[in-house]
């Protein structure tokens, strides 16, 4: 054992030991008891949205309080409404035809790594999913969001105590050290990694079952039959939300050539600033991308901050920079993910042309995540869905605010979005409580005749 392993083991083992003892008690919960606990921790975060939002912005220096409050106030009831209907304890299903009984059992102790970009709601949702399946969870928050993570966990632990449950069902490491996070991943029964690609790769190298999620780079295609008065404000709202940090936010938008003037007119009326000057466009590119990588100084900063930083001349009330592209994919850095309110836009001629350009952009980042489509032509929607490497295709909705689930669509409400094998992930859907249980199957013999060879090999 190396020195770092020796030092880390004792520290992390204290959390694992307490989690294990608490989880053994939780294994005996009924479905009703599990649901009461999950509702309690969700409500604890929901009722303290303003405090947690202010703390997150103060500590991380990213995003804005108003949108973080809105995120908590929307996600908490949405996720609870989704999980409360799901069965995660005892017998899940009896299939008389197949002679099968499915039974849910806990996975045990979940080790969860969480990002600075979403330091409250990711903890809340992952804790809800874990406890719904009678699992304990130990968090390792990003080092720039330790206080926010600790306060969020403290509120949830208080809710557990009020329900008469073991507080150690939810814990958080209180030392910002990568070695501790690494040891947590090695000691947990299951790892959840929500964050950058390096974190996800580390989770998959931990030797434990891991569910990681990929980075975003949402491509948005506006079809010729789209309602621009509906589409453009929604796209800009999503791009500006929480200062552009959501992984589900639209990053590049493809606009029919003949609709570009109308697109820009509506965009301007909704806080979009057209960066028509090549000098300003180059300033943005050089600042946002240092040596080909996104400049973290700009993460979660609003348009006013960027305007002042670069001494740009924008319109009053500008919330999103609209930057014309010089090409797609590797030909323009603006084709990549930008963690601030900057939206690349590219004219196209023919829907297949737009799909092809979106594919090029996904080639430089964001494969497997999400695509936004504004179209009333089902054939075009299906063309894009068949061609592009994405796990979610959100149609005629603000992708930033609905790809993670919504009361208006059928996607599972979550803050951990799987990106399939394209994003080196083990799931290609939104994480929820079904991913944090083991399902065992009891198989009875079937009173059936073996099919003939002719029946087996026939098409």
The CA distance from 128 to 122, in Å, is 10
Contact 367, 347 (CB under 8 A): no
Which of the following is catalytic: 42, 165, 220, 247? 247
Q: How many CA atoms lie within 13 A of 201 on its CB side?
A: 4
Q: Which residues contact 364 (CB under 8 A, 6 or more apart)?
A: 217, 329, 330, 335, 336
Active site residue 399: no
The 3 state secondary structure assigned to the chain is: CCHHHHHHHHHHHHHHHHHHHHHHHHCCCCHHHHHHHHHHHHHHHHCCHHHHHHHHHHHHCCCCHHHHHHHHHHHHHHHHHHHCCCCCCEEEEEECCCCEEEEEEECCEEEEEECCCCCCHHHHHHHHHHHHCCCEEEEEECHHHHHHHHHHHHHHHHHHHHCCCCHHHEEECCCCCHHHHHHHHHHCCEEEECCCHHHHHHHHCCCCCEEECCCCCEEEEECCCCCHHHHHHHHHHHHHHHHHCCCCCEEEEEEEHHHHHHHHHHHHHCCEEECCCHHHHHHHHHHHEECCEECHHHCCCCHHHHHHHHCCCCCCCCCEEEEECCCCHHHCHHHCCCCCCEEEEEEECCHHHHHHHHHHHHCCCCCEEEEEEECCCHHHHHHHHHHCCEEEEEECCCHHHHCCCCCCCCCCCCCCECCCHHHCCCCCCECCHHHHEEEEEEECCCCCCCCCHHHHHCC
Enzyme catalytic residues? 247
């Amino acid at each position: 054992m190396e020195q770092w392993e020796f030092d880390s083991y004792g520290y992390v083992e204290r959390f694992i030991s307490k989690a294990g003892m608490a989880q053994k008690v939780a294994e005996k919960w009924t479905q009703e008891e599990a649901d009461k606990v999950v509702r309690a921790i969700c409500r604890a975060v929901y009722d303290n949205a303003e405090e947690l939002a202010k703390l997150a912005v103060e500590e991380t220096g990213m995003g804005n309080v108003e949108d973080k409050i809105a995120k908590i106030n929307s996600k908490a009831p949405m996720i609870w409404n989704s999980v409360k209907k799901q069965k995660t304890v005892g017998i899940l299903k009896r299939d008389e035809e197949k002679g099968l009984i499915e039974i849910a059992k806990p996975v045990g102790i979940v080790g969860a790594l969480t990002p600075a970009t979403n330091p409250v709601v990711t903890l809340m949702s992952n804790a809800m999913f874990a406890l719904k399946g009678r699992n304990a969870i130990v968090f390792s928050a990003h080092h720039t969001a330790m206080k926010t993570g600790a306060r969020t966990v403290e509120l949830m632990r208080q809710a557990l105590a009020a329900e008469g449950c073991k507080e150690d069902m939810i814990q958080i490491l209180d030392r910002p050290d990568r070695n501790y996070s690494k040891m947590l991943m090695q000691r947990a029964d299951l790892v959840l990694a929500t964050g950058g690609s390096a974190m996800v790769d580390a989770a998959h190298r931990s030797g434990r079952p891991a569910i990681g999620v990929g980075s975003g780079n949402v491509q948005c295609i506006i079809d010729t039959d789209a309602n621009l008065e509906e589409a453009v404000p929604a796209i800009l709202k999503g791009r500006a939300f929480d200062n552009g940090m959501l992984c589900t936010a639209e990053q590049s938008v493809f606009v029919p050539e003949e609709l570009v003037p109308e697109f820009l007119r509506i965009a301007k009326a909704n806080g979009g600033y057209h960066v028509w000057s090549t000098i300003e466009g180059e300033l943005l590119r050089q600042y946002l991308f240092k040596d080909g990588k996104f400049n973290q100084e700009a993460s979660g900063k609003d348009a006013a901050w960027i305007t002042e930083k670069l001494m740009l001349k924008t319109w009053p009330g500008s919330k999103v920079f609209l930057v014309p592209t010089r090409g797609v994919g590797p030909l323009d850095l603006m084709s990549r993910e930008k963690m601030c309110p900057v939206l690349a836009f590219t004219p196209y001629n023919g829907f297949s042309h737009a799909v092809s350009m979106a594919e090029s952009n996904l080639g430089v980042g964001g494969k497997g995540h999400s695509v936004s489509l504004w179209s009333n032509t089902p054939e075009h929607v299906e063309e894009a869905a068949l061609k592009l490497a994405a796990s979610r295709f959100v149609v005629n909705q603000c992708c930033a605010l609905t790809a993670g689930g919504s009361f208006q669509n059928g996607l599972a409400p979550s803050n951990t979005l799987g990106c399939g094998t394209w994003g080196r992930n083990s799931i290609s859907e939104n994480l929820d409580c079904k991913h944090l249980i083991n399902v065992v199957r009891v198989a009875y013999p079937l009173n059936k005749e073996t099919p003939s060879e002719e029946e087996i090999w026939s098409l």
